[in-house]
Each structure stands twice: as structure tokens, then as C-alpha cells.
Structure 1
């Protein structure tokens, strides 16, 4: 995880494990919905998404005119529950093999993105398996973490071993300032909604520098 706004640090955030550079942000307002939790937690996840969108200067909507909801957050105990969810395989044709991969990896979270023709994010499916590790984390922390990781197409290695969140002295989770600056700069209107060339990171680093100077 980066602790500066150097082009090298920014490049790492969007360089995937196969070496390719891939960046995308949302091209439409985000209309979130949550499944598998009580109403109080639905409020927490929507509040976290709204907070991150405010930071980005991006819109939140009640509904998406094409999809209804375009950011779907599923909380579950076992990955098998996804197979048993009605009609989910229609939205995610690769659901069967995906669930097998998640089981084999003993994963506790996964995000699946869909894209617009111009490469911007069109939809995101967020899956959170409440294993022993996740069950010990406050709902506010889980929701903020998922909102942050859904606002951009980060590298699959961006937050390995280092959370985008930090804890205050009161044990409240907040977004790390360097991650917040990347999000703000990425949503600057002069920046593209998608990029697959690492030269994008140079522009992004320059925007971050302009924001924090």
C-alpha cells in the first residue's frame, strides 16, 4: 500500500497481478442495495457508500434506470448460499465456477465488476462471507472498507496485507488520507473514466499533488 503520491506508488494501486495496468471509475450514479443483513446494517452500508461518493464528488441514486440497483452487496455465511440465491446466476453467468474458486481459496470477500462500453464501471457485486475473521470486525468498518474498494477498480493486489482504512484513538475506522486523495483525484472531471496504460498513473499522481499542495 502506498504512503505517498509518487507515480510509482499510484501505478502499483492499479497494476494487476498479471502485470497489466487497468483503471476504472463509475460512469453513472451508484444505486446500492444490500442482502442478507438487518435493516440497521443496510443503513450502515448505504451511509458508507454515500460518504465515499461525497469524497469523490460522485452521485448516489435510489435506483438505476437500466439495472434498478447497480451496487449489490451480499452478506452470507457460506459461499454455497450464492448458488441458492434465485436468479443470481442470470446476472452472473460465471457464478458456479466463481463459487468453487472462492470455496477453494477460503476467501471471505470478493468484488465482481461490470463495465460500460467506454470502460467505466457499470455495476459491482460485492460478496462478504461472515467467517470468524469478518465476524470480529464492526459492521461500520466492513461497510466502509467495501465502499472504498468498490468506488474504483483497484488492482487485485492493492490492499493485500494493508487495509485502506486506519483506526483512530477511539477505535473508529477512517479512510487513510493517501487513499482518500487517490479517490478524489481519480474522480476529477479532467481524468478519464477508464485507462489501460500506466501513463494514466502519472496524470493521477499529478492531480493528487495538485489536491494536496
Structure 2
């Protein structure tokens, strides 16, 4: 989950938010209200702390209640994908839950994120599903929590963070790579739009990163 390289040009910044359909950027348009299921109390504190740290880095806000949804960031941990269909009312929040579970089982995936957007294209809610398989079981809660917090703070391109978002230092097992941190800060600059499909948006992000 470590990424030694970093965005160093407008093109590499643009690639972070490029999907098969083209450039698609979105950040949260409302305060984040997280709720986490399926972990012990100590692990819960680690994940909430990581989310709060990344939200603070972005200059965004955490809240206790979303007036529309109650909680707008829901994280579900399981040992087997089939456990998700047993979660009360989850099928009412996630359309096609049964087919999603079947697809994740077939892919032998260990994580999945589902984003929802408001009328302006900003992030409205995120559902995060994590299956703790043998690979993830070897990852410390601190590393996994920070990695996941970064992945949900923006809508990244499908393969943008394929190599991870963290770097190792002599003082720590893993910390957020400084350039990824710079992208997040730039993305949440108040003068920047909450959503964009214009590749020129990446130029504006890079300009703000360069000015730090």
C-alpha cells in the first residue's frame, strides 16, 4: 500500500481523476458523517481518527448528523461477502446488493467503494465494503485506515491509487505521500469546483500544488 512516486506534472494529476469515460473529478459537497460496522472498539477509534486526519488535511468538516441521510459515510467490514446480505436494511441503501455480492465473490475482491452524488456532481455519500482476507489481515489497522480515508475523500480514477497512497519513512511504517496530500489540499481549495469533467481542472489543481 505504498506509493513511492508522486504527481509531478499536470498530466500525472489529470491521470489521478481519469476514468474510461474521461476526466471525472468530485469532492465532498457536505460535512462527512461516518459510521463504521464490523470492527472492535479499538479499531473503530483508529479508523475514525484516520478519517478525521484526512478531512482536516483537506480543510473539510466532520459532523455528527447529515440532515438528509443521517450518516453519509458507511464502512462495513466482513470476513465473507455473503455477510452483507444479512445486514438489516442494507439492501434498501444499496440497490442490487445481492448481485454486487455475487460479483465481488467472483472477483475475489477484498474491498469496494460505492459513491453517490448530489445534483451538482459533488460527493453526497460513500459506502465502503471491506472483506478482511489473508492479505488485509497482514496490514495494520493504522495503515489500512489511512489508506481507506484517502480513497474516499475524492472520487479518484479507477487505477489512480492502484499502487497505494502511503510511503514509508524511518519514523513510521507508513504515512501519506506528500504529493497526494498536496492534491487533496488543492482539491478542497474553496475557489475550486466541487465537481468537474473538464481536464483543465487538473491544470488548476497542479497550479495550487506548485504554489504550496
Q: TM-score, normalised by structure 1?
A: 0.95
Deviation at 1:42, TM superposition (A): 1.1
Structure 1 contact 35–75 (Cα < 8 Å) conserved: yes
Deviations 1:98-125 (A, max 9, x none): 1121111111111100101000000001
Q: What are the ranges of 5 or more consecutive residues in structure 2 without an aligned counterpart? A: none
Structure 1 pair 100–48 and aligned structure 2 pair: CA distance change class (3 A): same
Deviation at 1:170, TM superposition (A): 4.2
Deviations 1:161-180 (A, max 9, x none): x1101122244321000100
Match status 1:167 vs 2:168: yes
Deviation at 1:145, TM superposition (A): 0.6
Q: Residue 178 of structure 1 aligns with which residue? A: 179
Q: Residue 191 of structure 1 aligns with which residue? A: 192
Q: Residue 40 of structure 1 aligns with which residue? A: 42
Q: TM-score, normalised by structure 2?
A: 0.95
Structure 1 pair 113–48 and aligned structure 2 pair: CA distance change class (3 A): same
Query: Equivalent residues in 2 for 1:13-92 (5 A)?
Result: 13-16=16-19, 18-92=20-94
Q: Residue 111 of structure 1 aligns with which residue? A: 113
Deviation at 1:128, TM superposition (A): 0.9
Aligned residues: 209
Match status 1:5 vs 2:8: yes
Q: Of the candidates 129, 139, 148, which is equivalent to residue 127 of structure 1?
A: 129
Deviation at 1:5, TM superposition (A): 3.3
| In 1: Cα distance, 2:193 partner to 2:96 partner | 29
| In 1: Cα distance, 2:60 partner to 2:42 partner | 24
Q: Secondary structure at the match of 2:36?
A: strand
Q: Secondary structure at the match of 1:72?
A: strand
Structure 2 contact 7–180 (Cα < 8 Å) conserved: no
Deviations 1:23-71 (A, max 9, x none): 1000000010100001111111110010001100000011212111111
| In 2: Cα distance, 1:123 partner to 1:138 partner | 26
Which deviates the most, 117-126 or 88-97? 88-97
Q: Secondary structure at the match of 2:191?
A: coil
